[in-house]
Structure formats: C-alpha cells, structure tokens
Amino acid sequence: MCSIASLLSCRGLLHLGEILLCIVTFILSSFSPKPLHSYWIYCMFIWPICALLTLVITIIELFLIHKFILFLCMDWDDFTTGIAFMASLTTCTVAICYCVFYVCLVCVWDWLVAVLAILCCALYITEFVRDKCDSTRSVKYLAALPGTFKILEAYASCIIYISLTGYHTQVPLILCVVLYIIPFPIIPVIVMVNVMNSLRVCLPFNISRLENIFLVLSVVVYIVAAIIWPFYTVHNNPQPDDCPAGGCQWSFYFLVTFMTCVNLCLFTVDLVFTLLGICGFQRV
C-alpha cells in the first residue's frame, strides 16, 4: 500500500525539500574541505543524518507503515514533531557555525553553502512550527514540555562537546569532561522508553523513579562542572585583544562555561517540574 498523497502534501513537500537541501549542502561543502576541527565534523555529520532521518520518516509515511507503528508501540505524531524540533536546533547551529568559521568576503563557494544551510534550517523550523500549530496532531512526550527539555539538554551537551578544547594538560578540566559525559547517554534511553509505550510497560522497574535519580545526578554533576570549568579557564583570564572573529581558545572556554550554566538551568527546572508534577511532568 502506498500513499502518494502524503508525498504531495505540504508536509511531504517540506520533507522532500529538507532531504534535497541537506544532501546538496553536504555535497557542496565536501568540495571545500576545511581543517579537521570538531565544528567541521559536526557540520558534516548533521546534514547527512538529518537527511537520513527525514528520508526514513518520509518512506514510513509514504507506505503507511506509521499506522502499524502507532498501533504497536509509539505515537508517531509526537515522535516526528520531536525529530523536527531536534533537526531545527541542529541545522540552525550548523548554519551559524559555518557562517562564523568558514565564510569570508571573497569565499563565493562558502557563501553558497551558507545560504543553503540557512534555507535547510528554515525548512525544518517551518515544519516544526507547522506541527506545533496543528491541533489534530497529538502531543504526548517529545512534542510536549518534558520531551522538549530532554532535547534541549542533549543539544546543550552536544554544543559543549564540540567546543571542548585546551583541557588535556589540566586534571580538573579532564574531570569536567568526564562529568559532561556522564548524563548524556542516559537522555536517549529515557526518551526512547517514554516514546515506546510497549517498552515502558515491559520494564521491570519504574522509569519515572529512575528519571528522578538521573535528574538529581545531572544537577549535581553540572553544579560541580559550573564551578570547576570557569575557575580554571575564564576566571582572572580576560578575553585577549587578539582574539579573531572566528574565535580563539578563550572563546571556546567561555562558550563551554555558558552552555554549562544553560544545561544546569535546564536540568534544575526539569527536576523541579518533575518533583512537583506540573506542566505535564510525571511525578513519582
């Protein structure tokens, strides 16, 4: 069974545009290789992974497989809205990174890639806003506030990871890197369990209680990191006068400090809302 109408709908055309732009942007950027830096690797990873995810979603909806998925295990509308939100955040970040680090006044090729990256981000934002404004689509976890917090927490963690630099020679900073890593792998597990209804029922333990423990651990971890990282990087260390527009090591130190505080706030609000059981957060 195949639904061509889904492919020709506004949603289907958005998906086709996203896939095409992601692929074209990735191909064009690969013809202009840059120094092997974490931001470049991030750019070259996000475009193909977003295209792949959108392609899988498009194929599933084209052949109506999502009807069976909805019946068996997950809320498809909720899942795809969450993916659109995640893709909006990541493609927006990639567009900003590319414009800041790789575009110059005479780099015509890089300007072309930057414009395509911005258009790609705009399409994903359009899809997300359209999904959120559609009252016929269900909102259960990923598209609701609890799932949104998890996506933002994972996103902030990714920005921290790709910005980490200059920590190899200092033990306190290496400790911070370890602390940053601890909460991240647990986030997709919690998201997957909350999205997969059948999996949640089969678990031999209470996922909500585990989530509370995870949030407490994350808040403690980020409090420690928010004290140690800035103390050893930006404390009594003003921005150098010769720091270029594309950023110097101090800029990356500051960005990690800022995103650490952002993630600490996210985890703290997440924990408070969960303990109080408000705004759709489940309370044990």
CB-based contact 85:143 (threshold 8 Å): yes
Question: What is the rounded average pLDDT of the residues 107-133?
Answer: 93
Provide the 8-state DSSP code for 235. Answer: T
Provide the 8-state DSSP code for 196. Answer: B
Is the confidence at residue 71, as pLDDT, over 60? no
Question: What is the rounded average pLDDT of the residues 142-148?
Answer: 89
CB-based contact 27:48 (threshold 8 Å): no
Q: Same domain, yes or no, for 47 and 121?
A: yes
End-to-end Cα spacing for the chain = 43
pLDDT tens digit string along 267-279? Answer: 999 999 998 888 7
Query: Residue 155 has what pLDDT?
Result: 95
Question: What is the rounded average pLDDT of the residues 155-166?
Answer: 92
Query: Residue 222 has what pLDDT?
Result: 97
Distance CA 142, CA 96 (A): 25
Q: Same domain, yes or no, for 192 and 79?
A: no
Is the confidence at residue 48, as pLDDT, over 80? yes
Q: Which residues pair with 74 in a beta bridge?
A: 196
CB-based contact 237:141 (threshold 8 Å): no
Question: What is the rounded average pLDDT of the residues 206-233?
Answer: 91
pLDDT tens digit string along 72-101? Answer: 577 888 889 999 999 999 999 999 999 888
Is the confidence at residue 70, as pLDDT, over 70? no
Please report, rounded to a whole number, the percentage of residues in the chain having pLDDT higher than 70.
Answer: 92
Q: Same domain, yes or no, for 24 and 82?
A: yes
Q: Same domain, yes or no, for 29 and 3?
A: yes
Distance CA 190, CA 150 (A): 9
Other CB atoms within 10 Å distance of the CB of residue 80: 24
Q: What is the CA radius of gyration of the chain?
A: 21
Is the confidence at residue 282, as pLDDT, over 80? no
Greater confidence (124 vs 75) lies with 124
Q: What angle do CA 16, 19, 22 make, to 5 degrees?
A: 145
CB-based contact 104:151 (threshold 8 Å): no
Greater confidence (264 vs 108) lies with 264
Provide the 8-state DSSP code for 74. Answer: B
Amino acid at 140: K
Q: Same domain, yes or no, for 112 and 237?
A: no
Provide the 8-state DSSP code for 246. Answer: T
Query: Residue 279 has what pLDDT?
Result: 73
Q: Same domain, yes or no, for 1 and 125?
A: yes
Please report, rounded to a whole number, the percentage of residues in the chain having pLDDT higher than 90.
Answer: 53
| Burial bucket for residue 258 (CB in 10 Å: 0-12, 13-18, 19+) | middle
Amino acid at 258: F
Q: Same domain, yes or no, for 109 and 34?
A: yes
Residue where a domain stops, chosen among 93, 125, 143: 143
The domain in which residue 92 lies consists of 1-143
Query: Residue 224 has what pLDDT?
Result: 97
Mean pLDDT value across the chain: 87
Is the confidence at residue 237, as pLDDT, over 90? no
**Interior/surface letters 13-22, b for 16+ CB within 10 angstroms, e for the rest:** ebbbbbbebb
CB-based contact 54:132 (threshold 8 Å): no
Is the confidence at residue 4, as pLDDT, over 80? no
Q: Same domain, yes or no, for 139 and 181?
A: no
Q: Same domain, yes or no, for 139 and 3?
A: yes
Query: Residue 263 has what pLDDT?
Result: 97
How many structural domains does the chain have?
2
Q: Same domain, yes or no, for 69 and 181?
A: no
Q: Same domain, yes or no, for 66 and 169?
A: no
Q: Which residues contact 114 (CB under 8 A, 6 or more apart)?
A: 95, 98, 99, 102, 103
pLDDT tens digit string along 163-208? Answer: 998 888 889 999 999 999 999 999 998 888 888 766 666 666 677 7
Residue where a domain stops, chosen among 113, 128, 143: 143
Is the confidence at residue 49, as pLDDT, over 90? yes
Residue where a domain stops, chosen among 86, 119, 143: 143
Q: Same domain, yes or no, for 24 and 80?
A: yes
Phi first, then psi, for residue 74 (nearest 5°) are -140, 160
| Burial bucket for residue 125 (CB in 10 Å: 0-12, 13-18, 19+) | middle
